[in-house]
């Protein structure tokens, strides 16, 4: 019998029809449900639930007590802080379940980070390299590189690919941590200057 190319702690439950990429580690008391796809080199902390048909890219880090419900997709290198929350139904009723046809999609783009205890309301996209502060409630789309804080979350600045808050001067921004330079466009978008 060939050795698996990934690690699953013995306390975790992996349903049939699940794909798990090479080098991924799934720790204590996790449940990976039917149809889930998890990329390479991911880390799922204690008590993570990955629901049916959820897609997780390569290099993602999902901390303890996170549930990724059906309709959520994480691109590569996404960080989900401890106990952050994703939803998939805007008007849930126990008596009138909608099933998967009624779920709203949520997309978390490459490199984005969701802080501890933050909530991402379904039907929105969190942009590339965005940073959602701890406890924030995201109820709208988030631009690439945006720093989002508060309830409801409002943009409080821009962040670098490395995670540092950018120093903005007019239409230019610079990262004092790594030196990357950016240009603001229309005040609502930012792009790296190569």
Residue 57: CATH number of its domain:
2.160.10.10
Domain with 187, as residue range(s), is 164-194
Give the pLDDT band of residue 4 (cuts 50, 70, 90). Answer: confident
What is the DSSP annotation of 109-172?
A: -TT-EE-TT-EE-SS-EEPTT-EEPTT-EE-S-B-TTEEEETTTTEEEEEB-TTSPBPEEETTE
Residues 119 and 188 in one domain: no
Residues 137 and 191 in one domain: no
pLDDT at site 151: 98
The predicted-structure confidence for 17-63, as pLDDT tens digits, reads as follows 999 999 999 999 999 999 999 999 999 999 999 999 999 999 999 99
In a domain, residue 1? The reply is no
In a domain, residue 2? The reply is no
Give the pLDDT band of residue 81 (cuts 50, 70, 90). Answer: very high
Give the pLDDT band of residue 2 (cuts 50, 70, 90). Answer: low
In a domain, residue 137? The reply is yes
Residues 86 and 175 in one domain: no
How many CB atoms are located within 10 Å of the residue 34 CB? Answer: 12
Residues 119 and 186 in one domain: no
CB 83 within 8 A of CB 64: yes
Share of the chain above pLDDT 70, in %: 99
How many structural domains are present in the chain? 2
């Amino acid at each position: 019998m060939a050795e698996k190319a990934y690690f699953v702690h013995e306390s975790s439950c992996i349903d049939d029809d699940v794909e798990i990429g090479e080098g991924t580690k799934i720790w204590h008391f996790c449940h990976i449900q039917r149809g889930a796809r998890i990329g390479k080199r991911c880390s799922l902390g204690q008590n993570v639930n990955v629901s049916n048909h959820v897609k997780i890219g390569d290099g993602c880090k999902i901390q303890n007590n996170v549930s990724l419900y059906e309709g959520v997709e994480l691109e590569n290198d996404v960080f989900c802080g401890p106990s952050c929350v994703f939803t998939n139904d805007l008007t849930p009723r126990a008596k009138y379940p909608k099933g998967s046809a009624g779920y709203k999609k949520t997309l978390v783009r490459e490199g984005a980070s969701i802080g501890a205890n933050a909530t991402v309301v379904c039907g929105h996209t969190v942009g590339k390299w965005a940073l959602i502060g701890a406890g924030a409630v995201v109820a709208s789309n988030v631009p690439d590189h945006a720093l989002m804080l508060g309830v409801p979350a409002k943009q409080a600045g821009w962040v670098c690919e490395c995670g540092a808050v950018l120093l903005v001067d007019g239409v230019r921004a610079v990262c004092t941590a790594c030196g990357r330079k950016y240009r603001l466009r229309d005040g609502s978008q930012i792009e790296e200057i190569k």
